[in-house]
Amino acid sequence: MSQTPAPPTPAPVPAPAPVTGPVSLRGRTIVVTGANTGIGAAIAKLAGATGMNVVIDYVAHPELNQPLIDEIVAAGGQAIAVQADVTRVEHLQSLVDAAVDAYGRLDVWVNNAGVETRLSLLEDTEEKYDFVMDINMKGAYFGAQVAAKRFIAQGSRGVIVNVSSVHEDWPMPGNTAYCVAKGGLRMFAKNVGVELADHGIRVVNVAPGAISTPINKETEADPGKIKQLNESIPAGRIGQPSEVASVVLFVASDEASYMTATTVTVDGGITQGAAGL
């Protein structure tokens, strides 16, 4: 009497491959401003998983640094944390010096630090305007300057990436200073990308849309607001910091060697499919 053969044992499902960035970045050194939370932390983590040497800039919450460093080291990278205020040029220079002292060189500079106050023109004050512009625009301007000078001094090509926003050219009434600062970053990338091209230095903006970061914490905590936001995004959901980080690492890599003086948008289609927020 024949027996029905037992079904074959299914092959084990392989574990997903670790998420890593472009091979060409391994061993290179990256400075990320505002890097111990949100998109900055995601960039730092992915850079570490790529095998980069990471300089984490922060101004607050030092307790977040060691867990982030531990995660980067466990993923195969190296990392240090340096407290520096991006509104002060001497602090920006200290980030360059720390990178060179620790790892011998600087290869990628990411202007990520940013803030918003969500005030209209009629509501704003000089103090709050300066706060937004100093971090979002001045910090990026002089961060790029100190990085470019280092690239030139060490005789190497380098990359400057500005984490901008879809609001560099998409109006957001009630958040005027922020939009003005990000609009400035758009022209900054174009102009400085052209200025520095002869030195082999590339400048690229990465412009996120709605991303799950501390800035959007209140929106995500409100079921009605997050539902409305998700429905306004053609992709159907808010983005994750890691999805921005992967684009930042790509544009910083040799695989994007012909990209400069431009902006790459990472927004799930929101600026094309929605009337606005």
Contact 33, 95 (CB under 8 A): yes
Contact 248, 255 (CB under 8 A): no
Q: Which residues are catalytic?
A: 178
Measure the CA–CA gap between 137 and 160, rounded to whole angstroms. Answer: 14
Range list of H helices, the chain: 38-49, 65-74, 89-103, 126-133, 139-153, 176-195, 217-221, 223-232, 241-252, 270-273
Nearest CA to 239 among 54, 42, 72, 34? 42
Residue found under tokens 């030139």: 152
Residue 152 exposed, middle or buried by CB count within 10 Å (0-12, 13-18, 19+): middle
Contact 29, 64 (CB under 8 A): no
Nearest CA to 84 among 21, 130, 40, 117? 40
